[in-house]
Structure 1
Amino acid sequence: HKHSPSAIRFGLTGKGNFTGVEGEDVVFGPGDMVLTPNDAWHNHGTVGGEQAVNLSVLDLPLVETLHAVHFDHKYTEMVDGKEVEKKVQTARYPGDYSQRIYGEGGLMPRFVDHKRGGGLSSPMYVYRWEKMEAVLDAHKDWDGDPHEGIVIDYVDPTTGGPVFHTINFYVQMLRPGERTLPQRETASLLLAPFRGNGHSIIDGKRYDWNQFDTIAIPGGSWVEHVNGSSSEPVIFFGATDAPTQKALLLYKRWGRNQAGDLLRLV
């Protein structure tokens, strides 16, 4: 099937997650993020007989509000010159295509078509956890941002921008004992604790969370995050609709310093 809302799947448990997207068969596990972009044919399942759990995030509320939702379930391929309806896509790319072509930052092959799936999103359809984890580990001793800790964005390797035009994704790390300073922004956020536990203070109210919970932070809300562990980091998987707001010149972000003074951050 395919649809106009853009979506991702973020692996939580199980190593046999499967998503076939535009002819690339992706098997993925915990921490891997797989794109199913606007108007890209895809199908889901598992391989190997092991149960798997994913977090799926879509820009469906925005697309629905704009009355631009469409779904298509009739997938066809040309076979011997005839259009034939199929339930499973024929693989057209090797299973490691995304990592082989786009997996080295700053280096991009010229000899492939970078407009897969109509060119409506990042052509890198799977972002592997080991790559993200290596970047987090390399920066665990940096000062980071006092309002966010260490944040690494997922980007479209061909533009350096967000993976979708409407919504973007990131990983946020709080070091042991770290507490962020208060901030608020116009964008709405979704955070999923991938590792660790702690609490957040949203508009003055405390919310405790554990691994695989989901935290919704409405646009305009003041928020602080606290890692209560003295030995283990907290790692969030996050989603934001900031790209849409930035395109419409509506995005703003504020914070407070240690003295409580209001700061205009963006």
Structure 2
Amino acid sequence: MKAEVPEMVRAERRQYYDQINHFSMTPLWEVLGRLVPRQPTPAITPVLWKYADVREHVMQAGRLISAEEAERRVLILENPGLRGNSSVTQTLYAGLQLIMPGEVAPAHRHTQSALRLVLDGEGAYTAVDGERTTMRRGDFIITPAWTWHDHGNLGKDPVVWLDGLDIPLARFFDTGFAEPGAAHSQGVTRHEGDALARYGSNMVPVDFHQPPSAPTKVFVYPFAQTRSALKTIALGDIDAHHGYKQRFVNPATGASPMPTMGAFIQLLPAGFESLPYRSTDATVYVCLEGEGEALVGHQLLKFQENDVFVLPSWYTLQLRAGREAILFSYSDRPAQQAIGFWREERLPAHRQA
């Protein structure tokens, strides 16, 4: 326990702090606990967006503004602890993007990496560097940094997907660049499925070499394949903390598909309850199938299909499945691992954060 400081000393210190403030200086000892905490003290909070509650607001945006006028018609999911920052965690962005039948979200590129997770509707496509992929529910689609991309809807239904980007991380480094496309839509230069066949079939072109830090050439991970793999894995032993959980990789290198963001998929059998777990990467979860509960610290979040929820850094997570559930998630884990920050802890059943 620190000794009580006399008022005369405190007054002298305040006067000193006022003096050095004119030189844009401040005393470390007054803020050391905040700068170097004993454990993470995130500003973000656990939060759940119920898709059934927000879907109509997303659709209303389609009646108010066109995709061309907006460039990207998106409702940003802002964490309550970071309102006004366009952030879902300290380093990540999330939003629900809508494209109506017949629309095109025009081509552009930017230094921020992006992922798409298709939630609702069919008939849309994403084009990346001259190749289109049809967007089907549950598909995990990537637009790597500084690649040309646009979206279109050739179907009859509105299509909604979750956007995940490293916008806050790029903003922190002041490394954001963007460029509009010369044409509204890219010209198609490769047939659909070319990248998946060329780089995602346990083969790569004979002269292809890619450093581990480069983003994947495979830009679509079809949910049908992902789900089939999970079902097969679920015939084996289960991880008590995660259920059946896999991470998406660049098949050419084994590294994360994007250097700044990692993506994960997990299956929770009906009635499964995980042991408590925590890690330093704040994570965005999306329920693709089933329903369940997430105990985030001491806050209980009940999720169903298409719901989105956030796990802050170093908060304990326990998952409980009602019906069998499949959860997609993404975080900044690869970036943390690259600089040596990432930490995890598997807790026994009797411990709570």
TM-score normalised over the length of structure 1: 0.87
Choose which of 329, 337, 341 in structure 2 pairs with 1:238.
329
Shift of 1:51: 1.5
**Other-structure match for 1:79:** none
**Other-structure match for 1:155:** 249
Q: Does 2:205 align with 1:110?
A: yes
**Other-structure match for 1:78:** none
Shift of 1:259: 4.7
**Other-structure match for 2:279:** 185
Which has the larger helix fraction? 2
| CA offsets 1:61-116 (integer angstroms, 9 cap, x no match) | 1111111111111x2xxxxxxxxx32221112111112222343xx213247566x
Please give the residue correspondences for 1:81-230 in structure 2 after superposition, counting only pairs within 5 Å. Answer: 85-104=182-201, 107-111=202-206, 120-229=214-323
| CA offsets 1:24-64 (integer angstroms, 9 cap, x no match) | 11112111111111100100121122221111111111111
Which shows bigger deviation, 88-97 or 235-244? 88-97
SS of residue paired to 2:188: coil
Distance 1:17 1:99 in 2: 18
List alignment gaps of at least 5 residues for structure 1: 76-84
Asked whether the 8 Å contact 2:124–2:155 carries over to 1, the reply is: no
**Other-structure match for 1:44:** 151
| CA offsets 1:186-235 (integer angstroms, 9 cap, x no match) | 11111000111111111112111111111100111111011123xxx100
SS of residue paired to 1:206: strand
Structure 1 counterpart of 2:156, which letter?
Answer: G
Distance 1:261 1:216 in 2: 18
**Other-structure match for 1:67:** 174
TM-score normalised over the length of structure 2: 0.66
Distance 1:112 1:124 in 2: 17
**Other-structure match for 1:251:** 342
**Other-structure match for 2:131:** 24
SS of residue paired to 2:226: helix
List alignment gaps of at least 5 residues for structure 2: 1-107
Which has the larger strand fraction? 1
Larger radius of gyration: 2
Distance 2:140 2:322 in 1: 27
Q: RMSD in angstroms over aligned alpha carbons?
A: 1.8
Distance 1:212 1:12 in 2: 6
Asked whether the 8 Å contact 1:122–1:163 carries over to 2, the reply is: yes
Distance 1:40 1:49 in 2: 28
Structure 2 counterpart of 1:100, which letter?
Answer: A
| CA offsets 1:102-149 (integer angstroms, 9 cap, x no match) | 343xx213247566xxx8410001111111111111011322221111
| CA offsets 1:235-261 (integer angstroms, 9 cap, x no match) | 001101110100010111002123549
- Aligned-pair identity (%): 25
Distance 2:235 2:351 in 1: 26
